[in-house]
Amino acid sequence: MKTFKYRFTRLTTAFIYIGIALCVIGLGVNTYSVIVSDIAAEPYPVYPIIRFVLLYLIPAILLVILISLLISSYYRIEGNILTTSFGIIKSKYKTEDINSVILDRTTNKLSVFFKNNGFIVIVVKEEWYDEFINELCKANTAIEYTVKSKENNDKDDKKK
């Protein structure tokens, strides 16, 4: 079993951390509002209770989602299964369903193409591309591996 961590851009990582900070601030402001609010004095106390529950629930759910993005975003090759995890969203693919892998050096993207004409783009560190491809080819030796180089836009260097 080999696991490759998902690589977020710096901007995306910054937005995730900003979102986490805003969730924590929101939870703090909601706690302060509950403390200073006099719910018992309200003519209809149900409405403020529903409001406070929702104001806690929304940032708490968002906080779980954002933290799961940071902690649980990876690609894993285990036996003949390729698992992609993006936070709480997980997908599993059989390696025998993989038709080819293309490493496009012009865009620095690694794409995995399936027999059903679907594909996914693998987003890991560029230094891990070769290791990822080797692990994938170990799981299924019938995968065709192609490198589209920067110098030869007309030609593809093919490997198996």
Tens digit of each residue's pLDDT (9 = 90 or more) over 127-145: 888 898 888 888 888 888 8
**The model's pTM:** 0.75
Give me Rg for the CA atoms of the chain. 23
Tens digit of each residue's pLDDT (9 = 90 or more) over 15-38: 999 999 999 999 999 999 888 887
Q: How far apart are CA 76 and CA 39, in angstroms?
A: 50
Q: How far apart are CA 14 and CA 69, in angstroms?
A: 12
Residue 157 confidence (pLDDT) above 70? no
- Give the residue carrying structure tokens 């012009």: 106
On average, the pLDDT of the chain sits at 87
DSSP state of 127: G
Q: How far apart are CA 8 and CA 69, in angstroms?
A: 10
Percent of the chain with pLDDT over 90: 39
**Mean per-residue pLDDT, 80-90:** 91
